[in-house]
Amino acid sequence: MSPHTPDPTSVLLVDDDAMVRAGLTMVLSADPTIAIAAEAAGGAEAVVAAIQHRPDVVLMDLQMPQMDGVEATRRLHAAVPSSAVLMLTTFHLDTHVLDALQAGASGYLLKDVAPQELCHAIHLAASGESAFSATITRQLVARHTASSQVGTAGSAAQRALAALTDRERAVADAVAEGASNATIARALFMSEGTVKTHISRALAKTGLDNRVQLALTVFRAQQSH
């Protein structure tokens, strides 16, 4: 690797299906900007591998025996907070995705995602951005809150967002729409650096870990109206 060439983004693959891991390895190995750091066949193994290899990104299956992706994400996020976690799910409306996002995941992908989109999502996660579909997230929140305490969650979300300035709230709303920093910067006539600053301040004021959790908070506040 020359001094002018950045190191490839390191990825830990986590899935209890060896065929899925093999498929992901084949897809990602075709991209020279991505390197497979390790593989894990279960949640507990994933946490150990993440501590050992400290990958930039972890592709985490949701449904696994013994320790599922949600609990693995929670433990991994606590042990190696520098590693971004992207959830892999088969279903559009898997309510466990919400639990994973609240546990610290940076986003989620469907297992039938196109190779180019998968690589793009990995780089987004590695750079601190989120990879998620705002439409699917809205559906998840609606489905989740339909059978839970909508008023309580919505009121808490509104209180958290009330601490934001108008510009911070505008950026938070754009994040909830799934917009990238570059898109937000163009729409709100500010630099990408300013967008990042607003997001950082919004996260600090709301006590959240990442932009996906910020999006969830915006959605919950909207649901309570």
Secondary element (H or E) of residue 29? helix 18-29
Residues 6+ apart with CB under 8 A from 173: 218
Residues contacting residue 39 through CB under 8 Å, at least 6 positions apart: 12, 13, 14, 21, 25, 49
Report the b/e string of 88-109 with b at 16+ CB within 10 A: bbeeeebebbbbbbbbbbbbbb
Band of pLDDT at residue 146, cut at 50, 70 and 90: low
DSSP 3-state of 3 = coil
pLDDT at 96: 80
Could you report the per-residue pLDDT of 5-27, keeping only the tens digit for each?
778 999 999 999 999 999 999 99
Which of 19-28, 60-69, 83-92 shows the lowest per-residue confidence on average (mean pLDDT)? 83-92
- 153 pLDDT above the threshold of 90: no
At 97, the pLDDT band (50, 70, 90 cuts) reads confident
Q: What confidence tier does 142 reach under pLDDT thresholds 50, 70, 90?
A: confident
pLDDT, position 196: 92
The arithmetic mean of pLDDT across residues 72-76, rounded, is: 94
**Position 103 pLDDT exceeds 70:** yes
pLDDT for position 48: 96
Q: List, in order of start, the domains of the chain with CATH numbers.
A: 9-132 (3.40.50.2300), 138-223 (3.40.50.2300)
Contacts of 196 (CB under 8 A, 6+ apart): 128, 181
C-alpha–C-alpha distance, residues 56 and 37, integer Å: 9
Q: How many percent of the chain have pLDDT more than 90?
A: 53
Is residue 1 pLDDT above 60, yes or no? no
d(CA 187, CA 89): 31
Return the pLDDT at 49.
97
Neighbours of 31 (CB within 10 A): 18
What does residue 167 show for φ and ψ, rounded to 5 degrees? Answer: -70, -40
